[in-house]
Structure 1
Amino acid sequence: MTESLLIAMAQCNFLVGDIAGNCDLMLSEVDAARNRGVDLILFSELALTGYPPEDLLLRPSLQLRVETAIKRLAAASHDIAIVAGFPWREDERLYNCAGVWYQGESLGRYAKQCLPNYQVFDEKRYFSVGDQPLVVNIAGVHLGLTICEDIWYTGPAEQSVAAGAELILNLNASPFHLGKQTERLTVLREHIGRLGVPIVYVNQVGGQDELVFDGASFALDATGLCVAQLPEYQAATADVRFSASVLQAANAAPVVEAHEHELASLYNALVLGVRDYVNKNHFKGVILGLSGGIDSALTLAIAVDALGADRVQAVMMPFAYTSDMSKEDAAQQAQVMGVRYQSISIAPMYEQFMGALAQEFAGLPVDATEENLQSRCRGVLLMAISNKTGYMVLTTGNKSEMAVGYATLYGDMAGGYGALKDVYKTRVFALAQYRNSIGEGEVIPQRVIDRPPSAELAPDQVDEDSLPPYPVLDTILENYIEQDMSAEAIIASGFDRDDVMRVLRLVDVNEYKRRQAPVGVRVTRRGFGRDRRYPITSGWRAGI
């Protein structure tokens, strides 16, 4: 006979590699859940190591550290069952596992069956494939375990139900990209429609290098109704009760299913990515070049929302081509947002460089070299202040620029982290408007959003002098980078042939720049990082 089971969904922000610290965090959640009368607490995939641990999994001492943490979890499992993810080595093979401990004993270990090996995932590099379900009995309830990718396929869930599972527990480390929550809900509801059993889905939350895990854990009953929903982008817990084959919320509070608002989700992902990168790597704060343009304006807003104004420094670095409007707008935003701000002209150092290079440049025409030199002067200033203060340089370049190489190595690309690295320019504009629509009101001057974008490296320069309009450029880029469309297919969809061929050539030949760019928040299906690995030296050129 099925008894009542109170289950805690623990959505935690773990630190990759900190096995002892992650175990401490889990034990704190266990104690709190036990005090609430919870029967079982569910953590996320590879909770002990954090996700993704990458080549830390190859370290010889990993198993010993994991075993030590598991003993602590088992010892804490009196009167409450603990379900958590961890790596486990057995017979010279490493598995991505979920374990169950209750009353001081291990009730079983499940090995993940579907190992993702695409986009940002490299699990086949490390793990062997499991092939058996695990169903455990806790207080008369038969629980089936699955891990993340397992739930995106039919086999593991069906195996679990065939083995007697009345309720499926799914442990996840599912990174965010636009549209991801809708995809999750759709897939799980398809399983429920076919199998007729509820699913409790627990995801980790937090930033890990370029990845952002949005949390948004949830529980669906046997009809597919969402009975519990945890918030996005913050650590949280929620309790659900399974009784007489019915899964329901443990309190009377109304449940609002998470439906992704694109700009809100995107903005919050950027904020969390910046916050956790800075804090987990123990930087005092960030410094950035505030140019009076929209990219640096949005980056400043993200930085302040992530860290607080007292940990953000902005520097205007004007030159002969910097407009008064840019100077005024930068100063205004810095004042509104309450950050430390100063203006340091690059003119003296630029002239010194040009004087030193006069013989080398003699008889040669002015070209992009002089523009790049301006950018590199700014990079030197920011890096010097960073070294002196311990504030990390936050770069301001967007995905459109990174794609076509409109960025300067050792200039505006110099820094530790890129807030907008995976954000197309058209979304930069939309995010700036969004940020002005929330909170305390306008923090980015409206004319920064309205004016034509310009690097201000030459007289009367605007970006569209050398690039298609951003709505056109970004659509071409998205089709090529994220959809893998050929040049001919993009042209056939209605774009000018010359524009397409020029843009795609720029993408292909600038891989060497992107490889040297700082890591940055990934928010699309394919960012410039873990999930797009093209050779630098290559004869490939865009075509059919």
Structure 2
Amino acid sequence: MKIAIAQINPIIGDLSGNAQKIQEMAQRAVKEGARLLLTPELSLCGYPPRDLLLNPSFVDAMAMTLQQLARDLPVNLAVLVGTVAPNCQADITGDKSLFNSMALLENGQIKQSFHKRLLPTYDVFDEHRYFAAGLEANYFTLDNIQIGVTICEDLWNDEEFWGKRSYAVNPIAELAVLGVDLIVNLSASPYSLGKPRFRETMLQHSAIRFQQPLIYANQVGGNDDLIFDGHSFAVNRQGETICRANGFATDLVTVEFDAGQRDLQLSSVVPASPSEDEEIWQALVLGVRDYAEKCRFSQVLLGLSGGIDSSLVAAIATAALGKENVLGVLMPSPYSSEHSISDALALAENLGIKTQILPIGELMQSFDHSLAGLFAGTEFGLAEENIQSRIRGNLLMAIANKFGYLLLSTGNKSEMAVGYCTLYGDMNGGLAVIADVPKTRVYSLCDWLNRNGEIIPQNVITKPPSAELKPGQVDQDSLPPYEILDDILQRLINHHQSAAQIVAAGHEVVVVNRVIQMVARAEFKRRQAPPGLKITDRAFGTGWRMPIASNWVGIKNTDQNTSISTPTVGC
């Protein structure tokens, strides 16, 4: 039996459009001689639909679209389509009224439905808000071959692999006990760095442990802050990867199941990403392209400061949307260095994008004049610095509103973490492209981008980073060196280490305490930031749920080995 994987890029809520994508993949699968077509989790509505699922009319429309799709699909092709199904026992059990399901469509009919059994509630997931858990092992028979069906999280509970169980049941183990010939997993698994390789390692372990060939079909594309990388694949009973689809792109791949050997045969194996930087680059380019297109923007703009962050964002936007659709706006102030302008123009020339120069000196003077009486007797400080950033933010928003552009904000994760950014200034925008990219990774990505020739001007990479909001300013006036800051942030945010643990790793007590306080105080800023593309397993987005008005900051006292609490809301 030949099985095809439809690695599609759905638009959330576009039921007819997503059905058409499945239909087109089905036609291609027939031409490839496939008997079964696999599509990702919730492929009919796109993942994650979130509170659209609370709208009964949306659920009803999905059911009607599914019925029509069943009638439209080619005959003699069985198709597994991700959808929702009603929980008819909800009134009795008090559980949710929907299941996260896969529907088996064949010859114009909905033959069976299979319900997701393990519902994640961590990080970006909140499936208990919408779904009841399926209670039975899922499988069906097609041409005398028994095929087990699992949906995304159903795969992620192998206690031998993880060293523990997160759920009471292991659907893969139950299907193996039932003696199915093959197990398929239909997923919408969001991307984070290294996750494609990790998934393969996990499935290879399960294949060997249970002596089961496994096929993994994953969604691709960007939906809001989440990026789905695709990288669908298949492993045989020996745990060998015998098929791999392209990453970060729509794809259709086929694999042959040999009923005599009860195993999958070697097929096309696309190479994995050769480096972390290339993997991140592909993810961010896809995230920007899909966010713009799915929100119906054809052109983007950003502020070009001559710094490394805006340079990287400009390069990503150009790769995503084409140089003709990117506008870089230079807004020099009296504090801007000559190289901030020359570096920005050199970058624009390398990328081939349009630029516009809007000096802000006169606007700064107007603000100074308006505030002169109120600010009399005070020293130049943060308020005046932030006015410059907010002038720039207003100019960018005015251009975006006037011409219908999507404004891209350019702040990195290190800045977002400690609040080294200005509300209603450089934080303005519809999408924060590198908000989950630490500063040290920004440099790494730019070096990678320049591997075959200069794209990011070398001076942008080598000069000390600066906001240039006052004479001679550099970032390290306010922050620890980025290699120190990023290591502390990684330990604190991603690994949930305590102050004592971070100090034990070699960092100074005073620096650690200060960074922890800055992270806590900046929560109100992050809550007002635009969506940021997620590329790590701990991003400031959907999965970050910290309180703003909190009085807890667990830090190591510089004089005593005790924890102290300080207010977290700052200006």
TM (normalized to structure 1)?
A: 0.97
Confirm or deny that 1:126 pairs with 2:126.
no
1:77 shift after superposition: 4.9
Structure 1 residue 424 and structure 2 residue 438: aligned? Answer: yes
Counterpart in the other structure of 1:105: 109
Partner of 1:339: 353
Unaligned runs of 5+ in 1: none
CA contact (8 A) 1:113 1:131 kept: yes
**CA distance in 1 between partners of 2:441 and 2:221 (Å):** 22
Paired residue type of 1:202: A
**Which residues of 2 match residues 276-315 of structure 1 at below 5 A?**
276-315=290-329
Displacement of 1:104: 2.5
**Aligned residue number for residue 85 of structure 1:** 82
How far apart are the structure 1 equivalents of 2:333 and 2:252?
52
The one-character-per-residue Cα deviations of 1:472-525 (angstroms, maximum 9, x if unpaired) are: 000101111111111111111110000000000000011000000110100111
1:240 aligned partner:
255
Please tell me whether the aligned partners of residues 382 and 393 of structure 1 are also in contact (alpha carbons under 8 angstroms). Answer: yes
2:285 is equivalent to residue 271 of structure 1? yes
Deviates more, 1:423-432 or 1:190-199: 190-199
Shift, 1:125, TM fit = 1.0
- The counterpart of 2:66, out of the listed 50, 70, 76, is 70
Judge conservation of contact 1:181–1:259 (CA < 8 Å) in 2. Answer: no
Structure 2 residue corresponding to 1:316, chosen from 313, 316, 330: 330
Is contact 1:226–1:257 with CA below 8 Å preserved after alignment? no
1:174 aligned residue: 189
SS in 1 for 2:243: strand
| In 1: Cα distance, 2:230 partner to 2:236 partner | 19
Question: What is the match of residue 452 of structure 1?
Answer: 464
Q: Which residue of 2 aligns with 1:6?
A: 2
CA-CA distance at 1:436 after TM superposition:
1.3
Is contact 1:73–1:82 with CA below 8 Å preserved after alignment?
no
Give SS of 1:206's match: strand
Give the drift of 1:386. Answer: 0.5
Q: Is the 8 A contact 1:508 1:542 kept in 2?
A: no
Q: Is the 8 A contact 1:285 1:391 kept in 2?
A: yes
One-letter amino acid matched to 1:82:
V
CA distance in 2, matches of 1:135, 1:284: 44
2:416 to 396, 402, 421: 402
2:40 alignment partner in structure 1: 44
1:482 and 2:494 are equivalent in the alignment:
yes
Aligned letter for 1:500?
V
The answer on whether the counterparts of 1:135 and 1:163 sit within 8 Å (CA) in structure 2 is no
Structure 1 range deviating more: 61-70 or 406-415: 61-70
Name the aligned partner's letter for residue 127 of structure 1.
Answer: F
Q: 2: distance between equivalents of 1:207 and 1:58?
A: 22
Distance 1:64 1:500 in 2: 53
Deviation at 1:259, TM superposition (A): 5.2
Q: CA deviation at 1:103?
A: 2.1
SS at match of 1:306: helix
Determine the C-alpha separation between the residues in 2 that align with 1:67 and 1:395: 39
The separation in 2 between residues aligned to 1:364 and 1:273, in whole angstroms, is: 45
Correspondence for 1:214: 229
TM-superposed deviation, 1:6: 0.6
Question: Residues 11-22 of structure 1: matches in 2 within 5 Å?
Answer: 11-22=7-18
Give the deviation of 1:260 after TM superposition. Answer: 5.8
TM-score by length of 2: 0.92
Please point out which of 197, 207, 226 is paired with 1:192: 207
- Give the C-alpha shift of residue 417 in structure 1: 0.5
Contiguous gaps of at least 5 residues in structure 2: 91-96, 159-169, 556-562, 564-571
Q: Is the Cα contact below 8 Å between 1:394 and 1:415 reproduced in 2?
A: yes
**In structure 2, what is the equivalent of residue 503 of structure 1?**
515
Calculate percent identity across the aligned residue pairs.
44
Checking the alignment, whether the CA contact within 8 Å between 1:292 and 1:326 is kept in structure 2 is: yes
Q: Give the Cα–Cα distance (whole angstroms) in 1 for the partners of residues 32 and 315 of structure 2.
A: 39
DSSP-derived class of the 1:357 partner: helix
Partner of 2:31: 35
Q: Is the 8 A contact 1:379 1:414 kept in 2?
A: yes
Residues 1:225 and 2:240 aligned together: yes
Give 1:462's match in structure 2, choosing from 474, 486, 498. 474
Q: Secondary structure at the match of 1:413?
A: coil
Aligned residue number for residue 538 of structure 2: 526
- For 1:95, the equivalent position in structure 2 comes to 99
Deviations 1:393-450 (A, max 9, x none): 1000000000100100000001110111000000000001111125xx3111011001
**3-state DSSP of counterpart to 2:450:** helix
AA at the equivalent of 2:540? F
Residue type matched to 1:346 in 2? I
- Aligned-partner residue type, residue 541 of structure 1: V
* Structural mapping, 1:365-444, within 5 Å: 365-438=379-452, 441-444=453-456
Q: CA deviation at 1:257?
A: 4.9
Are 2:204 and 2:241, in contact at CA under 8 Å, matched by a contact in 1? no
Q: SS of the residue aligned with 1:437?
A: coil
> Could you give the per-residue CA deviations for residues 254-303 of structure 1, whole angstroms, max 9, x where no partner exists?
x2452562111111111111110011000121110000000000010000
Query: Given that residues 67 and 110 in structure 2 are in contact (C-alpha distance below 8 angstroms), is that contact kept between their aligned partners in structure 1?
Result: no
Classify the secondary structure of the residue corresponding to 1:61: helix
Q: Structure 1 CA distance, aligned partners of 2:244 and 2:220? A: 14
2:33 partner SS: coil
SS of 2:56's partner is coil
Checking the alignment, whether the CA contact within 8 Å between 1:182 and 1:259 is kept in structure 2 is no
Deviations 1:307-348 (A, max 9, x none): 001110001100111111111111111112111101110001
Whether the 8 Å contact between 1:182 and 1:260 is mirrored in structure 2 is no
How many residues get paired?
A: 535
Amino acid across the alignment from 2:539: G
